[in-house]
Amino acid sequence: MGLAYLGISVGGATVPWVSHVLVHHFGWQAALKIIGGLIFVVSFPLVYVLRDVPQEVQPHASKPAVSIGYAFKTLAFFLLLVGSMCSIAAVSGTQQNLKLFFSLDRHYSQAAAAEVMSLVLTFSIIGRLLIGWLADRFSKKYVMLFTYLLVATAVPFLFLAQARLVTYAAAAAFGIGLGGDYMIIPLITAEIFGTQMLGRLMGVLLTFGGIAEALSPWFVGRLRDTTGSYFAGCMALIVFAILGVVAVLALPRQRQTT
């Protein structure tokens, strides 16, 4: 999962540079068409050639541990839903507002703000590999807890620290948390409920996570417009992150059964 999720980080890091070159040479409308066309030319053919491993040759194919209806009624699923939503809200609210924060509140130059954002993206690549490696060797609950604690610890330092060195260290820690945040959710879901209904459970979890991802940056930006600084938004993001940590602490370690 860590290796597979590298595509998101690599794409996020390279596409802005590609789009900048395309806009410079062809204009933004043509750039959008070219990037959209690449999805059809590159992504669709690659997905088309993927093949499922037949059930009979899967050495560790798991049986459904619990029915889908029962899973929705368990405390574990509720905690997983709340925990993932809160952490995603903290991650997305921070990531989408960082550049504006450094430009508006800290008066960083565009180059200095880009340095911090580049550091976040670079360490998100490291985070995907690191969290994936840890998840194969330790309890996924505690790996998820470690990931969420990184986010909860890094956010206040990103917004409140004055020293550049502390800001860079916080950006690196946040990047690792960002890299592992989304990836650990399907792993812990499979650990608790099995893999047979993983697609349906992830459909629900990612839908609510998408809602949190959409609303949190807007909410933080709204607080900034209302108060004149990002301090209130930072406090809200810290609360989101801590709630995510608390929810993960309460998750069971063993698989749920009927």
CATH number at residue 177: 1.20.1250.20
Does position 153 have pLDDT exceeding 90, yes or no?
yes
Indicate whether 19 belongs to any domain: no
Amino acid 53: pLDDT: 64
Question: Looking at the domain assignment, is residue 176 inside a domain?
Answer: yes
pLDDT at residue 216, rounded to an integer: 95
Query: Is 209 domain-assigned?
Result: yes
State pLDDT tens for residues 172-226: 999 999 988 888 998 999 888 888 888 889 999 989 999 999 999 999 999 999 9
Does the pLDDT value for residue 252 go beyond 80?
yes
Q: What is the pLDDT of residue 42?
A: 83
If one counts the domains in the chain, the total is 1
108 pLDDT above the threshold of 70: yes
Tens digits of per-residue pLDDT, 67-90? Answer: 778 888 899 999 999 999 999 999
Q: Which domain holds residue 159?
A: 52-249
**Is pLDDT above 60 for 257?**
no
The three-point CA angle 73-74-79 to 5° equals 115
What gap in Å lies between CA 62 and CA 73, rounded to an integer? 21
**Mean pLDDT of the chain, nearest integer:** 86
